[in-house]
Amino acid sequence: MKILNYLFIPFLVSLLLSGIALAHKVNVFAYVEAGKVYTESYFPDGGRVEGGKVLVYDSQNNLLLEGVTDKNGEFSFDIPKVDDLNIVIEATMGHKNSFKLKKSEVEAGK
Amino acid sequence: MRTIISMLSFIVVMALAVNPASAHFGAIIPSNDIVTQDDDRTLGLEVKFIHPMERHYMEMVKPKAFGVIVGGNKTDLLETLKPAKGKGPDQDQDFTFWSTDFKIRKPGDYSFYVEPTPYWEPAEDCFIVHYTKVCVNALGLEEGWDKPVGLETEIVPLTRPYGLWTGNLFTGQVLLKGKPVPFAEVEVEYLNDSPGNPSIVAAPADPFVTQLVKADADGVFSYAMPRAGWWGFAALSEADWKLKQDGQEKAVEIGAVYWVHTRDMK
């Protein structure tokens, strides 16, 4: 019986975790203004991703910089390169998504 | 001669009387209802006064108000509206509708709304004002769709109004001055001119043109949408104010209209 409990509890926990993962898809959005790139990371219901890791890649998939989101899910940085930028958010529990910031938008926001 | 004239006028009156089988609907139809990061971020929007199922246009003068709410902030878009002309396949004259382009800049729910200028309908001896809304989601932030805009009468969705499959149930609440309307009558029509509609739907009888559901005691109604495309919901009330036509006070029908889009599962 004890063994069953040991098996059952992790099963329940994994069910709960997978439920959260589905309902809490993480998103990242970015825009450029006056030479700076602003990123916002959020869950669909409007909750902000705090302490998420932001990774910024160029069109050749070279890592240009990385940072951490604040309590508003925001992280900003000076334009690292005029190029197509791939901005990746890595939140807790393996939640991950990316946003493509087009070169034309980076150019326009210089 | 007299007889012929009276016969003719009888026919005209009958034609007018028969027409209300198709219901009037205010409409805001956007070019996209879910903007993802791969989509064009410029939305086209058409603002019309139509019989959606029968593809008829009615003349629409410039609305009183047109705007969008996102993240709780209202933006007036009235001056961006440009007049355009359209007509149904069996109409022999062009009618005015309004269109605009809107650039999505941030993630969120964009609730577009219009308050038309009152439309005088001689066949019903009243004015018609359809407060119309549609919600477009952008870039994965699903926040705001369930909030009222604050119109005199409006439908507030209880079902998230985007990401709907064909056959889904749409549930909404009818508000008049912010309060639920018990047992409100809600007219439902399919937009036969929905982009991607594979074939025009021919109604086998008038009740199929405009379907009707009644709300419960809390003003809550539901309807399951049987086809992919745009669906309009219009909850009608009589205003507690009047307008003058030819010096006489006339009733004003105020409609709370909401549009949602469905897609087939495949």
Q: What percent of chain A has pLDDT over 70?
A: 78
For residues B43 and B104, is the Cβ–Cβ distance under 8 A? yes
Ramachandran bin of A73, using left for φ above 0, alpha for ψ from -120 to 50, beta for the remaining angles:
left
**Nearest one of A66, A64, A67 to A81, comparing CA atoms:** A64
Residue-averaged pLDDT of chain B: 93
Give the residue extent of every domain in chain B.
Answer: 24-263
Q: Does ipTM exceed 0.90? A: no
pLDDT of residue A17: 46
pLDDT of residue B7: 55
Per-residue pLDDT band at B1 (split at 50, 70, 90)? low
Touching check for B40 and chain A: CB below 8 Å?
A: no
For residues A29 and A74, is the Cβ–Cβ distance under 8 A? no
Instruction: Identify the structural domains of chain A with CATH numbers, from first to last.
Output: 25-108 (2.60.40.10)
pLDDT of residue A7: 57
Distance CA B62, CA B78 (A): 9
Extract long-range pairs of A7-14: CB within 8 Å, 24+ residues apart: none
- Does B106 sit within 8 Å of A46, measured CB to CB? no
Touching check for B139 and chain A: CB below 8 Å?
A: yes
pLDDT in tens, B10-62: 444 444 444 445 789 999 999 999 999 999 999 999 999 999 999 999 999 99
Tokens 């104010």 sit on residue: B241
Mean pLDDT across A53-61: 97
pLDDT in tens, B170-217: 999 999 999 999 999 999 999 999 999 999 999 999 999 999 999 999
For residues B191 and B88, is the Cβ–Cβ distance under 8 A? no
Touching check for B42 and chain A: CB below 8 Å?
A: no
pLDDT above 70 (res A3)? no
By CA distance, what is B106's nearest residue in A? A29
Q: How far is CA B203 from the centre of its chain?
A: 19
Touching check for A27 and chain B: CB below 8 Å?
A: yes
pLDDT of residue A92: 79
Q: What percent of chain B has pLDDT over 70?
A: 92
Distance CA A13, CA A16 (A): 5
The token duo for B37 is 């990061």
With residue A3 as reference, give the H or E element that holds it. helix A2-23
Q: Which residues in chain B have their CB less than 8 angstroms from residue A88's CB? A: none
pLDDT above 80 (res B3)? no
pLDDT of residue A94: 76
The token duo for B197 is 């509609």
